[in-house]
Amino acid sequence: MAEHEHTTGIEALANEQRTFPPTEQFKASTLVAGTQLYEEAAQNDEAFWARQASELVHWDTEWHTTLDWQLPYAKWFDGGTLNVSYNCLDRHVLAGNGDKVAFHWEGEPGDKRTITYQDLLDEVSQFANVLKGLGVEKGDRVMIYMPMIPEAAVAMLACARIGAPHSVVFGGFSSQSLADRIDDAEAKIIITADGGYRRGEVFALKPAADEACEKTSSIEHVVVVKRGGNDVEWADGRDHWYHELMDGVSTDCPAEPMEAEHLLFLLYTSGTTGKPKGIMHTTGGYLTHVTYTHKYVFDLQPENDVFWCTADVGWITGHSYIVYGPLSNGCTQVMYEGVPNHPGNDRLWEIVDEYGVTIFYTAPTAIRTFMKWGADEPDKHDLSSLRLLGTVGEPINPEAWMWYHDVIGKGNCPIVDTWWQTETGGIMISPLPGATTTKPGSATFPLPGVSAELVDDEANVVPVGGGYLTLTRPWPGMLRGIWRDPERYQETYWSRFPDRYFAGDGAKLDDDGYLWLLGRVDDVMNVSGHRISTTEVESALVSHPSVAEAAVVGATDATTGQAVFAYVILRGGADADEQTLRNHVAGEIGAIAKPKRVFITPDLPKTRSGKIMRRLLRDVAEGRNIGDTTTLADASIVDELQSKAAASADD
Ligand code: 7RM
């Protein structure tokens, strides 16, 4: 290797050239059409964040110190006090917007509720009084285990109102996952529902909450929202119906100012191994970060926009871009309970038209599923209300980006590909839609106020090419630690590279300085000494017209160390054979990345937030029994893949 070359962790193979500047029409009414925010933040990022905090958030007391940074611990806006629920509700009602719709909610069976800011304030205040009546005090942890119903947001905001940190657990997780999180957080209360709707049926939640109570010792009360109408067991004294507790309770519950660094919530992430980590987010910095990013990344025009983020509240995306960011900005949203294919594969597009959704934010996995179902589904609907599209959760393959742009956006909507993590609290890398020329598959640049760099194995900065994505400056929404595990916090995020935050993603910088996310570094494949990203091989597969979705893993190989194994979902009605797809990858990005095997499959193992679980695919490819599948959306797919692998081992 030549002296001037970097010892980069990951090779960069793909070469996407298409560019999409913002249209004149979009620029005419955008919040930011130029580079002014970037320039301001580059001058002094602390002063930049301080300006956002004072302009976008209501404070009861001014802070005295913008940032106190003792690596790896940050305090933002120390000395300041504020209430998150006041910022999300009261201030909009006081400004005369009580009649404005906060949520157009739609249940999977088709039932609808319209909830104004005044309605939400009243219900949150009542429920905050209920929680107090159950003995919940500032600092007590509250578990929330619910379907996608408005009461999930009410519960979160009621906790915030009284300073009781919440910990939301996905409704799809098992009683054991719930119990582990209850134990770790030593939670006092669970807020749940009898059940919710999914795929046309009621799925029960209460039995898992009951089991979790049996396995743990800290829960004193269980509050149950009636949603599914399914029969439930009842522990008198411990269990309470939400509607009975709420009956006749006062709507007067003044929001109490909290210290800027007061714990707002814990959100558990499973990580790669071991017990889940309770990621800690606090009050002032987090609210500043999500309000700012929701406003500028989505170019929010709160008078006219109808925002729809399709995430579940059990995911950080639901916290930041259904509850806290959008409500803090006082905007109107859509919230939907169910799956995208009930009763038909066009349910989401029907909802877009029904409420005139203008900004639509979803995950690449959903987009690839829409591709699989075909353009006929969205084409049944008008969709002309849409003006901006977003993605989050995984790298978006250029072809999926193009499909989203052309078929959903009709070529008229900018796309914001937003990179961030549970740990970052809010969006970190993304276009500003009125200012940034986008490239399909690139998250483009760090937002104003965010500092990111790529480094190689020796922590040298990589100016162009592949490397490890690190953050070099603290930001307001950053995690404040792992609940009761400071060593793991230091070890996981701050020890791989000195003075840098590293949370495990690879990326490359192209000649124009655009960032391209390459997937988790744990998934990087090593083929004959070449370090190849899963993302680039997957994107090469998805660029074949027959392919909707692909997942690749490196499986142990006697000659090359690892070999590329690919699992591919075809587009509706399309056909392709293994040889063609292998050659297609070789033609797109080179022979070194050519998969040894390509398996056509109807589905892939994914988490509930839609991320492909490559660890399981690696187990399948290497013939191992698969490990923990409790966080999987649909565990049956693994059996299917395993029997396929067994069959192919015979041939
Ligand atoms: C918001 C969220 C975090 C991980 C992250 C990445 C991946 C998320 C993108 C992305 C490429 C994106 N939080 N990721 N967004 N990769 N491009 N736009 O997803 O904690 O659940 O996951 O998700 O690997 O580290 S998360």
Which DSSP string corresponds to 103-123? EEEE-TTS-EEEEEHHHHHHH
Nearest to 189 by CA among 156, 245, 141, 157: 141
Task: Identify the residue whose C-alpha is closest to ligand 1 atom 23.
Answer: 393
Q: What is the pLDDT of residue 404?
A: 98
State which ligand 1 atom lies nearest to the alpha carbon of 520: 24
CB 194 within 8 A of CB 234: no
Is the pLDDT confidence value at 604 over 50? yes
State which ligand 1 atom lies nearest to the alpha carbon of 517: 11
Q: What is the pLDDT of residue 647?
A: 59
Mutation test residue for ligand 1: of 269, 280, 420, 482, the one with most atoms within 8 Å of CB: 420
Task: Identify the residue whose C-alpha is closest to ligand 1 atom 1.
Answer: 421
- Residue 279 alpha carbon to ligand 1 centre in Å: 15
Q: What is the pLDDT of residue 6?
A: 47
Is the pLDDT confidence value at 5 over 60? no
Nearest to 170 by CA among 269, 256, 306: 269
Task: Identify the residue whose C-alpha is closest to ligand 1 atom 22.
Answer: 421
Q: What's 528-650's CATH class? A: alpha beta
Domain ranges of the chain: 452-521, 528-650
Is the pLDDT confidence value at 649 over 50? no
- Residue 575 alpha carbon to ligand 1 centre in Å: 31
**pLDDT band at 87, cuts 50/70/90?**
very high
Average pLDDT of the chain, as a whole number: 94
State which ligand 1 atom lies nearest to the alpha carbon of 519: 24
**pLDDT band at 629, cuts 50/70/90?**
low
Q: What is the pLDDT of residue 2?
A: 38
- Residue 469 alpha carbon to ligand 1 centre in Å: 12
State which ligand 1 atom lies nearest to the alpha carbon of 418: 18
Span 461-471, pLDDT tens digits: 999 999 999 99
Strands 263-269 and 530-532: unpaired
Residues 6 or more apart in contact with residue 179 via CB below 8 angstroms? 211, 212, 215, 216
- Residue 467 alpha carbon to ligand 1 centre in Å: 17
- Residue 90 alpha carbon to ligand 1 centre in Å: 32
Is the pLDDT confidence value at 611 over 70? yes
Nearest to 403 by CA among 380, 378, 384: 378
- Residue 420 alpha carbon to ligand 1 centre in Å: 5
State which ligand 1 atom lies nearest to the alpha carbon of 504: 25
Mutation test residue for ligand 1: of 324, 505, 539, the one with most atoms within 8 Å of CB: 505
Residue 429's SS3 state is strand
Share of the chain above pLDDT 90, in %: 88
- Residue 520 alpha carbon to ligand 1 centre in Å: 9
Q: What is the pLDDT of residue 637?
A: 75
Is the pLDDT confidence value at 68 over 70? yes
What mean pLDDT is predicted for residues 256-276? 88
- Residue 427 alpha carbon to ligand 1 centre in Å: 10
State which ligand 1 atom lies nearest to the alpha carbon of 269: 20
Q: What is the pLDDT of residue 642?
A: 73
Q: Peptide bond preceding 72: is omega within 30 degrees of 0, i.e. cis?
A: yes
Within 6 Å (CB) of ligand 1, which residues are found? 269, 316-317, 392-395, 417-422, 443, 503, 505, 517, 520, 609
Lowest mean pLDDT among 303-307, 530-534, 603-607, 638-642: 638-642
In whole angstroms, give the CA distance from residue 335 to residue 107: 9
Q: What is the pLDDT of residue 646?
A: 59
Is this structure's pTM higher than 0.85?
Answer: yes
- Residue 307 alpha carbon to ligand 1 centre in Å: 21
The correct answer on CATH 2.30.38.10 for the domain covering 452-521 is yes
CB 353 within 8 A of CB 379: no
- Residue 394 alpha carbon to ligand 1 centre in Å: 5
Task: Identify the residue whose C-alpha is closest to ligand 1 atom 3.
Answer: 421
In whole angstroms, give the CA distance from residue 202 to residue 609: 20
Span 276-311, pLDDT tens digits: 999 999 999 999 999 999 999 999 999 999 999 999
Is the pLDDT confidence value at 39 over 60? yes
Is the pLDDT confidence value at 56 over 90? yes
In whole angstroms, give the CA distance from residue 373 to residue 388: 22
Task: Identify the residue whose C-alpha is closest to ligand 1 atom 26.
Answer: 421
Task: Identify the residue whose C-alpha is closest to ligand 1 atom 2.
Answer: 421
- Residue 440 alpha carbon to ligand 1 centre in Å: 17
Q: What is the pLDDT of residue 9?
A: 77
Please say whether the dihedral angle defined by the alpha carbons of residues 491, 495, 501 and 507, taken in this order, is positive or negative. negative
State which ligand 1 atom lies nearest to the alpha carbon of 422: 20
Mutation test residue for ligand 1: of 294, 312, 421, the one with most atoms within 8 Å of CB: 421
Task: Identify the residue whose C-alpha is closest to ligand 1 atom 16.
Answer: 394
Mutation test residue for ligand 1: of 268, 290, 310, 392, the one with most atoms within 8 Å of CB: 392
- Residue 617 alpha carbon to ligand 1 centre in Å: 19
Burial class (CB in 10 A: 0-12, 13-18, 19+), 396: buried
Tokens of 461: 């900065």
**pLDDT band at 4, cuts 50/70/90?**
very low
In whole angstroms, give the CA distance from residue 317 to residue 311: 6
In whole angstroms, give the CA distance from residue 483 to residue 264: 12
State which ligand 1 atom lies nearest to the alpha carbon of 535: 11
Would you give the end-to-end CA distance of the chain in angstroms? 41
Q: Peptide bond preceding 343: is omega within 30 degrees of 0, i.e. cis?
A: yes
In whole angstroms, give the CA distance from residue 89 to residue 254: 12
- Residue 104 alpha carbon to ligand 1 centre in Å: 27
DSSP annotation of 322 reads I
State which ligand 1 atom lies nearest to the alpha carbon of 429: 18
Do the domains spanning 452-521 and 528-650 agree at the CATH topology level?
no
**pLDDT band at 321, cuts 50/70/90?**
very high
- Residue 188 alpha carbon to ligand 1 centre in Å: 31
- φ, ψ for residue 593 (rounded to 5)? -95, 5
Q: Supply the DSSP string of 555-602, one letter for each residue.
A: EEETTTEEEEEEEEEEPTT----HHHHHHHHHHHH-GGG--SEEEE-S
In whole angstroms, give the CA distance from residue 375 to residue 200: 24
Span 130-163, pLDDT tens digits: 999 999 999 999 999 999 999 999 999 999 999 9
State which ligand 1 atom lies nearest to the alpha carbon of 315: 21
Nearest to 146 by CA among 216, 204, 232: 204
State which ligand 1 atom lies nearest to the alpha carbon of 611: 23
- Residue 53 alpha carbon to ligand 1 centre in Å: 25
Residue with tokens 């294919």: 341
**pLDDT band at 639, cuts 50/70/90?**
confident
Strands 306-309 and 359-362: parallel
In whole angstroms, give the CA distance from residue 253 to residue 166: 18
Lowest mean pLDDT among 3-7, 79-83, 349-353: 3-7
- Residue 73 alpha carbon to ligand 1 centre in Å: 23
Mutation test residue for ligand 1: of 320, 394, 428, the one with most atoms within 8 Å of CB: 394
What is the amino acid identity at position 426?
G
- Residue 248 alpha carbon to ligand 1 centre in Å: 43
Q: What is the pLDDT of residue 641?
A: 74
Task: Give strand pairing partners of 551.
Answer: 567
Task: Identify the residue whose C-alpha is closest to ligand 1 atom 4.
Answer: 421
Is the pLDDT confidence value at 591 over 90? yes
Lowest mean pLDDT among 214-223, 367-376, 621-630: 621-630
Q: Supply the DSSP string of 457-507, one letter for each residue.
A: TT--B-SSEEEEEEE-S--TTS---BTT-HHHHHHHHHSSSTT-EEEEEEE
- Residue 392 alpha carbon to ligand 1 centre in Å: 6
What is the amino acid identity at position 456?
D
Is the pLDDT confidence value at 456 over 60? yes
